[in-house]
Amino acid sequence: MLYLIGLGLGDAKDITVKGLEVVRRCSRVYLEAYTSVLTVGKEALEEFYGRELILADREEVEQEADNIFKDADVSDVAFLVVGDPFGATTHSDLILRATKLGIPYQVIHNASIMNAVGCCGLQLYKFGETVSIVFWTDTWRPESFFDKVKKNRQNGMHTLCLLDIKVKEQSLENLIRGRKIYEPPRYMSVNQAAQQLLEIVQNQRARGEEPAITEETLCVGLARVGAKDQKIAAGTLQQMCTLDLGEPLHSLVITGGTLHPLEMEMLSLFSIPESHNINGL
Amino acid sequence: MLYLIGLGLGDAKDITVKGLEVVRRCSRVYLEAYTSVLTVGKEALEEFYGRELILADREEVEQEADNIFKDADVSDVAFLVVGDPFGATTHSDLILRATKLGIPYQVIHNASIMNAVGCCGLQLYKFGETVSIVFWTDTWRPESFFDKVKKNRQNGMHTLCLLDIKVKEQSLENLIRGRKIYEPPRYMSVNQAAQQLLEIVQNQRARGEEPAITEETLCVGLARVGAKDQKIAAGTLQQMCTLDLGEPLHSLVITGGTLHPLEMEMLSLFSIPESHNINGL
């Protein structure tokens, strides 16, 4: 049996009791470490689980999952994913390949940012399509995701923006030269995401278009959701550019315009102190 | 401290290790039992947690939460919620009232249907606004939620339909007479939801409107997600009317029209046997 087990969002103890039992009895346990991270590393997990974990990077999972699948038809193998296993599409693909090999699978769910984002007080059912904001480079500055934000806003829906993670990436030079030297991991902050968003707003204005959001649009920055030191801050997009939310992972929500009174009241718990009262926005 | 703890979706062991530790050391532990249910009852939870739980019904939580808040500023009180604490808006309200009383709170997240629905293979980020389908009565047959389905479909987004739960409801007669006699709990099945949806479709046609979905629209029925005997079935809305998914809880997804090839391939794992190949729809 191939078990896909969600680890939740905080630390080692955010695994479910059921998940922990499976981890402890599987013959091999893989830790997927490229679509998200916990606030603790592999060693802390190994200590708490009382067993060794095998780090699985993108290459291993997406190309040569043979190691993962080996003997999974006759023994139990676990594949651990930060958040819930269905947060990233790459795990659906793993299930499809396992099924083709006749390997049965079972999923042990957990919290992911897709539902835990509700902790900011915005109502989950009012979220529209989720977008990903990637690190811009000098030559690659995609803006197309902004259409989805616009569509969500037009329909009064909030947009959860998942922020880029670069783990085990090679520099262009190392990639070309085939050198397996990896850059230090990078995690996009709410500041960086807000700055990129504002640049898109300015580009649209320069082209004579009316952007779907402005500097004054009410947003929510979230950091380390589910961890003891999580931070949530509600304020304008402009304020998101300079806000200090600390260590990764960060996420950003662009509100959908009109808010329910209960949403306003919840957001006011997280209002940036130096800002105007968010009710006045 | 007031702890809001998600229980996940299956049975007693779907609580997180962190959640279980808190449950075991709190002075009082409430179980919210009206917005959702697990596959096991209060007694099974009590046995596994090794402690007594206090059942909290809607009346208690929404009106007189004084019992819950009592001494929560000086001792630890836990409030257990099936799924994640932010699945229902009523829990935001509990947090707001606690905060006003100066009671600090902490949330321990878990899986909810809002993210676990990804297990059917539809990509989570492509879900639009979530809708609730309520039991119709002879005199109350709301159709307004259908506009949200339409909007989602127009934007190529899937719609998660949460199906009605009636727990501790009084009959009209008992309500009028002030008799605290409660009806047996009722949980809407995928069949009932699909039948109501088809009636709306027919009503719209009768009014000369073009409905956003038809008998042939690809849907996914889900039952007991996260439990060992969970069932997932992909087929037409018409097929959803007669499908047997067994015990509650059920949920229904109306797909957003165009699917990603990976979504199609995942759904084909759950294709209703007697149906046409869903790829042909």
DSSP secondary structure letter of residue B279: G
Sign of CA dihedral A198, A199, A204, A206: positive
- The yes-or-no verdict on residue A63 having pLDDT over 80 is no
Band of the pLDDT at A273, cuts 50, 70, 90?
confident
Is residue A157 within 8 A of residue B151, CB to CB? The reply is no
Asked if B168 contacts B156 with a C-beta cutoff of 8 angstroms, the reply is: no
For residue A130, give how far its alpha carbon lies from the nearest alpha carbon of chain B (Å).
Answer: 5
The full DSSP string for A46-101 is HHHHTS--EEE-HHHHHT-THHHHTTTTTS-EEEEESB-TTSSTHHHHHHHHHHHT
Q: What is the mean pLDDT of chain A?
A: 93
Helices (H), A207-240: 237-240
CA pair distance A85, A166, nearest whole angstrom: 19
Closest CA to A119 of A274, A236, A251: A251
> What pLDDT was estimated at residue B118?
97
How remote is the C-alpha of B204 from its chain's centroid? 27
Amino acid A58: pLDDT: 82
> Residue A274: what pLDDT?
60
Query: Which residues of chain A does B121 touch, with a Cβ-Cβ cutoff of 8 Å?
Result: 92, 95
- Mean pLDDT of each 10-residue bin along chain B, 281 residues long: 96 97 97 86 95 89 85 95 88 93 96 97 96 94 94 96 90 88 93 98 96 97 96 98 96 96 96 60 42
| Interchain proximity A127–B124, CB inside 8 Å | no
Rg (CA), chain B: 20
Residues A182-209 as b or e (16 or more Cβ within 10 Å = b): eeeeebbbbbbbbebbbebbeebeeeee
Q: Which tokens belong to A272? A: 């940036």
pLDDT tens digits for range A173-210: 898 998 888 889 999 999 999 999 999 999 999 999 99
The angle, 0 to 180 degrees and rounded to 10, between the axes of the packed helices A42-49 and A17-25 is: 90
H or E segment to which residue B32 belongs:
strand B28-32
Give the residue-averaged pLDDT of A32-52: 91
Proportion of chain B above pLDDT 90, given as a percent: 80
- For residue B110, CA distances in Å to A111, A182, A195, B84, B222 come to 4, 34, 32, 5, 19
* pLDDT at residue B18, as a whole number: 98
B62 touches chain A (CB under 8 A): no
- Please name which of A186, A187, A198 lies closest in space to residue A241, comparing C-alpha atoms: A198
Please confirm whether the linkage preceding B198 is cis (ω < 30° from 0). Answer: no
pLDDT single digits (tens) B185-200 = 999 999 999 999 999 9
**pLDDT score, position B277:** 45
Helix A90-100 crosses helix B261-268 at what angle (to 10 degrees)? 40
Q: Using CA atoms, how far apart are residues A143 and A269, in angstroms rounded to an integer?
A: 32
Query: What ipTM was assigned to the predicted interfaces of this complex?
Result: 0.93
Whether the pLDDT of residue A214 is over 70: the answer is yes
**Cα–Cα distance, B119 to A19 (Å, whole number):** 16
Question: Distance (Å, rounded) from C-alpha B134 to C-alpha B224?
Answer: 19
A280 pLDDT band (50/70/90 cuts)? very low
B105 touches chain A (CB under 8 A): no
- Give me the phi and psi of B144, to 5 degrees please: -65, -30
d(CA B275, CA A15): 38
Among partner residues A109, A114, A121, which is closest to B8 by beta-carbon distance?
A109
Give me the pLDDT at residue A281, please.
43
Give the three-state DSSP class for B4: strand
> Which residues have a Cβ under 8 Å from the Cβ of B266 and sit 6 or more positions away?
A92, A95, A96, B120, B121, B122
Q: Are B165 and B34 in contact (CB under 8 A)?
A: yes
Contact yes or no for A13 and B16 at CB 8 A: yes
> Per-residue confidence at A81, pLDDT binned at 50, 70, 90?
very high
Contact of B150 with chain A, judged by CB distance below 8 Å, is answered with: no
The pLDDT tens digits for A117-144 are 999 999 999 999 999 999 999 999 999 8
Question: Is the CB of B227 inside 8 Å of chain A's CB atoms?
Answer: no
CA distance B74 to B1: 7
**How large a percentage of chain A has pLDDT more than 90?**
80
Look at B262 and A96 and tell me if their CB atoms are within 8 Å: yes
pTM, two decimal places: 0.93
The C-alpha angle with vertex B136 and arms to B132 and B142, in degrees rounded to 5, equals 60
**What percent of chain A is predicted at pLDDT more than 70?**
97
Q: CA nearest B43: which of B33, B35, B53?
A: B53
Pair B269, B230: CB distance under 8 Å = no
Using a CB–CB cutoff of 8 Å, tell me whether B268 touches chain A.
no
